[in-house]
Structure 1
């Protein structure tokens, strides 16, 4: 029996009865967003809304979280049996984790679920769940290769999920409480990160195992990657690379004559830790981009050089803390309530238009330049999904075309999506870290990123969905 609060979802229950009776579905239904746009969504091809017993079975299962250290230890001495074991872990974890998010979507009010953007995400999730739950036990390397092909095609198909969700949340901001929508969005994003971490880690291990230089059973070098985990993320180097990329983007956008602030790094310059590099690059890149842009715009036209951005690295026994301080004027008072929210209030209309120009976000939730780059260089999507190129570069750090730094440049500075800070906090908290901002209006912002440096914290998974959604 459904819980009493879910009786408001009577419309989905009626759809269930239609499906069971074999009657045709409604060809299209009119849907009006909170920003006054009338849309039509076609439902004849949608998956079944009713919670079939097989979904109940998967929702009843617990996800098994892992830590960075477990990812490292597992892949350090890679053998065929370990690779197959990894495949079977992913084979059972993906449908389990997806099933909980499908159930979460089924709990949304009907007016939200039928939003065309969220409905499309539901279809993608249901199709992925149906695909992965049917994968048989992996017993051979050939089985694993076929499974990896399925993972890659699914990752590529799901590149539209983040912008679709963001647009759906913005359009539904007048239908459901913003706090509830943010909680839903954070749950979906954290779960999405968790699935992509285990999927991409397995793809990377498989590519390593098949590499001509690899000898099964040999220990991977301490100076390289184990799958997607970079064993020695040096904070100073990541900040320097992200800072250089940010300055280059903004210099191109504003013109060579516009002075940009210097980025100064001090503190514990040798601090290092194991981490997934694309996650860290995303967070640091977004924070530096916000700071450099704010300072450049606030001090544009001044005869004096813009004040520098001070980045301080602090290493303790268990954590590394990165503080980014700027003098860009701080966060405007009217923007503060929406800083960590995906529902942006008065700014929703402009953000919807901006998101429409970014139909795909990559596996690391970085912008891929839309139509032009996708058509001209379709391999970029594949390289980002496979994440298989682990070449060494000068100092042992990885930077391949699908990395966050390469895709960071594709979004012009004035194309704000309203997602950078909330997404960065989801990433920071995923490995038991944190992200906080302190704004002094009229002066500047201090951002504090805390990272667990031991790699022994489990991924912070989203909570389980309840069994009786509808």
Structure 2
């Protein structure tokens, strides 16, 4: 017998709001009824081809539910004294919330344009999300400390499973991009894929949220660290984090080029505010990495020394702003829209060069100086996740200024896609 949900979706979907979930489910149902000759969907690609009907119904049922956002301040207040009762409440929230967020992403992955949903890399990511959804839904209600401990073990497994989502997704999108480039110019491909870029923005923003929620819960079980509540440092020094990111970026520049421009940091090291240091490190690392490459390329064969890159940390009432300035020649005005486009890069593309499964993650192990094309757009998502932003202003022929704005108040809700 078909579920009530399926009868509603298939029989009366024209009366309901048009959502990713409804569209994906409708398309999947229609594809399942077509003959092999008439269908445009490859056999074995759709969820309905490889998973039992009850699971598919459950996924799309959750994809219709509203996601619940949290704020940095809420996570600070909630995790300040992680007693047993609070950990149980946190686990109960994640037990209910994570399947909803995962289902939203599965519904999107099921219905991507340009045949992207059928790419092997995208299917691999989708199946990771389906597996995690299934495990969470099969986990019994959490009522005591032992349940919470077992649930935390499950969260650790899910966290590890999704570690390589970004590069695997990048591989799938890169394959699509190369196929389209064979048919038309690269510029047209970049400008004619707004649906893909909009999806990736929402997908990666959601991934940041899922990983911060899971990571925060797991971190509350770790031995306490000074000035930390889970992943959040209550006394995060942006100058110190920036200096660490600079050292990492310069180390990679030295490895790639054999030399590295100087980087000057201006700001008060004693100034601190609550933030997630790993997020801040990632963003500053990407900005400094780009500046190092631009300056190094411009002055590699020049007789004079390259000018230093300047990193300025400014403390405001609402925002902490970090400016990264270089004299690396800047970006042409016509090229500015491309810097926020996924897989746009002027460097060699490591995703294209990799034949085997990608092992390091962009998020956790920045192993190359340039080439993924994900650095700026994902850094902007990290900034926006807690209410900040990232802006790039460039002067062609001179250099580029990047302004990283971080919400100091911590009261901004997650911008859920």
The Cα of 1:336 is off from its aligned counterpart by 3.0
Q: Which residue of 2 aligns with 1:196?
A: 211
Q: 2:234 aligns with which of 231, 238, 241?
A: 231
1:353 counterpart = 2:352: yes
Over residues 27-70 of structure 1, what are the superposed CA-to-partner deviations in whole Å (9 max), with x where a residue is unaligned?
A: x959xxxxxxxxx9799983368984323432233222111111
SS at match of 2:397: coil
Q: Which residue of 2 aligns with 1:186?
A: 201
Q: How many equivalent residue pairs?
A: 387
Q: Which residue of 1 aligns with 2:6?
A: none
1:412 counterpart = 2:368: yes
Q: Residue 45 and residue 53 in structure 1: after superposition, are their counterparts in 2 closer, same or farther (change >3 A)? A: closer
Taking only aligned residues, the RMSD between alpha carbons, in angstroms, comes to 3.4
Q: How far apart in 1 are the matches of 2:34 and 2:374?
A: 38
Q: Which residue of 1 aligns with 2:125?
A: 121
Q: Which residue of 1 aligns with 2:59?
A: 55
Q: For the Cα contact (< 8 Å) 1:269–1:313, is it kept in 2? A: no
Q: For the Cα contact (< 8 Å) 2:348–2:371, is it kept in 1? A: no
Q: Which residue of 2 aligns with 1:218?
A: none
SS at match of 2:50: coil
Q: How far apart in 2 are the matches of 1:45 and 1:143?
A: 34
Q: For the Cα contact (< 8 Å) 1:162–1:360, is it kept in 2? A: no
Q: Which residue of 1 aligns with 2:3?
A: none
Q: 2:156 aligns with which of 152, 160, 165?
A: 152
Runs of 5+ unmatched residues, structure 2 = 1-11, 184-188
SS at match of 1:238: helix
The Cα of 1:439 is off from its aligned counterpart by 1.3
Q: How far apart in 2 are the matches of 1:81 and 1:446?
A: 47
Q: For the Cα contact (< 8 Å) 2:343–2:372, is it kept in 1? A: no
Q: 1:244 aligns with which of 242, 247, 269?
A: 247
**After superposition, where does 1:107-146 map in structure 2 within 5 Å?**
107-109=111-113, 111-146=115-150
Q: Residue 2 and residue 117 in structure 1: after superposition, are their counterparts in 2 closer, same or farther (change >3 A)? A: farther
Comparing 264-273 with 112-121, greater Cα deviation is found at: 264-273
Q: Which residue of 2 aligns with 1:422?
A: 377
1:461 counterpart = 2:416: yes
Q: For the Cα contact (< 8 Å) 1:87–1:138, is it kept in 2? A: yes
SS at match of 1:264: strand
Q: For the Cα contact (< 8 Å) 1:49–1:106, is it kept in 2? A: no
Q: For the Cα contact (< 8 Å) 2:174–2:352, is it kept in 1? A: no
Instruction: State the structure with bigger RCO (CA 8 A, min sep 6), 1 or 2.
Output: 1
Q: How far apart in 2 are the matches of 1:441 and 1:2?
A: 51
Q: How far apart in 1 are the matches of 2:264 and 2:351?
A: 35
Q: Which residue of 1 aligns with 2:173?
A: 169
Runs of 5+ unmatched residues, structure 1 = 31-39, 209-213, 215-220, 367-403, 463-470
The Cα of 1:356 is off from its aligned counterpart by 4.9
Q: For the Cα contact (< 8 Å) 2:28–2:46, is it kept in 1? A: no
Q: For the Cα contact (< 8 Å) 2:312–2:324, is it kept in 1? A: yes
Over residues 158-213 of structure 1, what are the superposed CA-to-partner deviations in whole Å (9 max), with x where a residue is unaligned?
A: 223212222222333449941110000011101111111111111111224xxxxx
Q: Which residue of 1 aligns with 2:29?
A: 13
- Relative to the length of structure 2, the TM-score reads 0.82
1:262 counterpart = 2:262: yes
**After superposition, where does 1:294-313 map in structure 2 within 5 Å?**
294-313=294-313
Q: How far apart in 2 are the matches of 1:167 and 1:187?
A: 18
Structure having the higher helix fraction is 2
Q: Residue 252 and residue 114 in structure 1: after superposition, are their counterparts in 2 closer, same or farther (change >3 A)? A: closer
The Cα of 1:422 is off from its aligned counterpart by 0.9
The Cα of 1:230 is off from its aligned counterpart by 0.8
Over residues 396-454 of structure 1, what are the superposed CA-to-partner deviations in whole Å (9 max), with x where a residue is unaligned?
A: xxxxxxxx5xx33xx233x5111111111111111110001111112110000000012
Q: For the Cα contact (< 8 Å) 2:322–2:403, is it kept in 1? A: yes
1:85 counterpart = 2:41: no
Q: 1:76 aligns with which of 71, 75, 80?
A: 80
Q: Which residue of 2 aligns with 1:284?
A: 284
Q: How far apart in 1 are the matches of 2:54 and 2:175?
A: 25
Q: Which residue of 1 aligns with 2:110?
A: 106
Over residues 100-157 of structure 1, what are the superposed CA-to-partner deviations in whole Å (9 max), with x where a residue is unaligned?
A: 1122223324822212221222211112111112222222222222212211122222
Q: For the Cα contact (< 8 Å) 2:343–2:374, is it kept in 1? A: no
- Relative to the length of structure 1, the TM-score reads 0.74
